[in-house]
Amino acid sequence: MLHSEIWDDQAAQSYDTPGTGMFAPEVLGPTVDRLVELAGGGRALEFAVGTGRVAVPLAERGVPVSGIELSEPMIDRLRAKADEAAIPVVVGDMATARVPGEFQLVYLVFNTISNLLTQAEQVACFRNAARHLAPGGRFVVELWVPELRKLTPGQQAVVWESTTGYIGLDTYDVLRQQVVSHHFRFDAGAGHEARLFRSPHRYVWPAELDLMAELAGMTLESRHADWAGGEFTAESRSHVSVYRTAGPR
């Protein structure tokens, strides 16, 4: 299934969860704080801007933000929060679409680079980020670390979250470096019915990302376990990696 088909009207309508999940202040606050710092007063571009979870509060902090987004239903949701003048958006693929002008910061949050399902597309995404960046500009990638150590021989699935009303699990194809995320949601009083949302991804190791950056003319500046600057270790489940183009600092 194409991602343009996955992120349809229904997905866009259920994406925003104000105050909870990835919209919780303890999640969103450090993300925006760090991006404000990395933008350094310059312009920012969000690849896969979605409904504006990060772009809207970043713009409210005074950072000029533009976006690229493949899903028009997601853009429609964004437009209920900010008009085109406030957050300009180009409809297209983040690996190829071009936004006018030059940026000090390009960023990809919440595992979005894994939506590109081939290595070639992910490399193209890095190169597209580099094309948009001013000399010395930064490209930021937030991504989970593949949990292959949890797979026993013959096992293909990992349950990564199980809470009241929700189960999240990933099924891995380790030969092709592919994973499908399954999100099961249960409503209280709804009997045995559940809603399922699935999305395919290509998982990427940090070292592979570093090589993609090198191919695009960027180098790793920093890597932390989270937006607050926690130490990245062998036990970290995710990372925030900052790459930089050559030029003034």
Q: Where in the chain is the domain with CATH 3.40.50.150?
A: 3-145+204-245
* Beta carbons within 8 Å of 84's beta carbon, 6+ residues apart: none
**pLDDT over 60 (residue 190):** no
Q: What is the pLDDT of residues 35-62, one digit of tens each?
A: 999 999 999 999 999 999 999 999 999 9
Mean pLDDT of the chain: 90
Least confident of 119-128, 134-143, 175-184: 175-184
> In what helix (H) or strand (E) does residue 76 lie, and over which residues does it extend?
helix 72-79
**239-246: average pLDDT:** 97
CATH of domain 3-145+204-245: 3.40.50.150
Check residue 150 and give its pLDDT: 85
Q: What is the pLDDT of residues 71-109, one digit of tens each?
A: 898 899 999 999 999 999 999 999 999 999 999 999 999
Relative to beta strand 89-91, strand 65-69 is parallel
Highest mean pLDDT: which range of 3-12, 19-28, 203-212:
203-212
* pTM for the full predicted model: 0.89
Q: What string of DSSP letters covers 173-241?
A: ETTTTEEEEEEEE--TTSTT--EEEEEEEE---HHHHHHHHHHTTEEEEEEESSTT-PBP-TT-SEEEE
Check residue 88 and give its pLDDT: 97
Check residue 192 and give its pLDDT: 67
Residue 107 amino acid letter: Y
